[in-house]
Amino acid sequence: MDMVNGVLNWVGTTAMVASLLLFYPPYYLFKTCYSFLSWLFPEDLTGKVVLITGASSGIGEQLAYQYALKRASLALVARRESSLQQVADRALELGARDVIVLPGDVSAPDDCNRFVQTAISHYDRLDHLVCNAGIASVGAFQEIPDVTKYSSQLDINFWGSVQTTFAALPHLKRSRGRIVVTASATGWNPVPRMSFYNVGNFFFHPLRQQDFISACWDFETLPVSCTELGSQVGITVVTPGWIESEMSKGKYLKEHGEVEVDQEMCDAQIGLFPVEYDKNCAKAMVQAAQQGERYLTVPAWFRAMYLWRVFAPEVVEICYRLLYMHGHGARQADTASRTMAESGGKQLLYPTSLRSEEIKSD
């Protein structure tokens, strides 16, 4: 076995690269043709039932509006009932066939079952499940007083999607529906001090999921690992970069376990990265779901960051150290990235909504 692996280390790598170079051109041509046909004949969402978690603000709110424009029927999930009702009213104005509001917490298994069962009781079907609810944390790892304070983040970002998907799968199978899961580009392009958010999205990132196959919940391999599904349920994995939302306004789970708004820290995190409008992100997500796309990164240029992570990881690490590391005794927000943002980058590269600390508090 050692000899076989030794030979493969020398010969197999070269053979694999050569075969990939030969295979990729026709494969890319096929994908281009398939994408063109999918663009010409997208899924008609008129009357389709869509359940969206985290629908009270940000990307989730805009997803509700984009599905409403496609004449879908909606089931909106979030903890803030008043905000959900406002989103529901606006979605009806935009053309949604029907909207029901389902206040609750995706981190609670009973709530996840209730969301799905209520939607099925009301509509008698479910066509799209959009797992969008999430929260980010921020803080230097060595400065966290109690790491268990962050368990709620995994309950929301990971288990919330797992539990909702588990309850919805039988109904999605009957309708030959689709799961749209919002992960994060930071899963493969981790920004310093965002480690716990990355952990939650690590499970959903298609290039890292094989490490967690034993967890039995791998959205990328779900149609394969659940053999009874076959190709009956489609998967769209979305990895957004920096998007206009409450997170990019600084709403974080802090070191002591409470949610706070820390705009200075957020500016330090984003730095000179352009921030995409949440409306554009949601529009791209719905379009990708209609066209049956497996992966989507928004904005599209952010995919180039993955190439840097693969081919020059040391360079990326050095750049991040220069941009995000603060001196001894300095505040976490006192970084070069925040200085650049405050020196004009924020006015040029951020939506106007990110220049205010106001967020939905109900």
Domain tally, the chain = 2
Catalytic: which of 197, 252, 324, 350?
197
Position 207 scores a pLDDT of 35
Looking at the domain assignment, is residue 351 inside a domain? yes
Q: What angle, rounded to 10 degrees, do the helices at 278-290 and 58-69 form?
A: 50
Whether residues 109 and 183 fall in one domain: yes
Is residue 275 within 8 Å of residue 248, measured between CB atoms?
yes
CATH number of the domain that 343 lies in?
3.40.50.720
Position 196 scores a pLDDT of 42
pLDDT digits (tens, 9 = 90+) for 158-182: 888 989 999 999 999 999 999 999 9
Among residues 1, 114, 107, 2, which one has the least CA distance to residue 51? 114
* Average confidence score pLDDT of the chain: 80
- When pLDDT is cut at 50, 70 and 90, the band that residue 127 belongs to is very high
pTM of this prediction exceeds 0.75: yes
Whether residues 256 and 296 fall in one domain: yes
pLDDT digits (tens, 9 = 90+) for 80-126: 999 999 999 999 999 999 999 999 999 999 999 999 999 999 999 99
Residue 20 or 254, more confident:
20
Maximum C-alpha span of the chain: 68
Domain that holds residue 205: 44-355
Whether residues 79 and 23 fall in one domain: no
Looking at the domain assignment, is residue 362 inside a domain? no
Whether residues 191 and 264 fall in one domain: yes
Looking at the domain assignment, is residue 139 inside a domain? yes
- When pLDDT is cut at 50, 70 and 90, the band that residue 1 belongs to is low
Contacts of 43 (CB under 8 A, 6+ apart): 289, 290, 291, 292
CA distance 112 to 165: 9
A 10 A CB-CB count for 57 gives: 22
Looking at the domain assignment, is residue 82 inside a domain? yes
Position 333 scores a pLDDT of 64
Straight-line distance from the first to the last Cα atom of the chain, in angstroms, rounded to the nearest whole number: 62
CA-CA distances (angstroms) from residue 189 to 17, 138, 236, 296?
A: 24, 16, 19, 15
Task: Report, as an integer, the average pLDDT of 262-282.
Answer: 86
Whether residues 1 and 53 fall in one domain: no
CA distance 262 to 144: 16
Looking at the domain assignment, is residue 360 inside a domain? no
Whether residues 105 and 26 fall in one domain: no
Whether residues 28 and 115 fall in one domain: no
Looking at the domain assignment, is residue 193 inside a domain? yes
Question: Is residue 350 flagged as an active site residue?
Answer: no
Whether residues 193 and 238 fall in one domain: yes
Kindly tell me if the per-residue pLDDT of 194 is higher than 60. Answer: no
Residue 329 or 149, more confident:
149
Whether residues 90 and 14 fall in one domain: no
Beta-strand relationship, 259-261 and 49-53? unpaired
Whether residues 130 and 52 fall in one domain: yes
Position 354 scores a pLDDT of 79
Whether residues 227 and 271 fall in one domain: yes
Whether residues 35 and 117 fall in one domain: no
Looking at the domain assignment, is residue 361 inside a domain? no
pLDDT digits (tens, 9 = 90+) for 18-71: 777 788 788 878 888 878 888 888 999 999 999 999 999 999 999 999 999 999
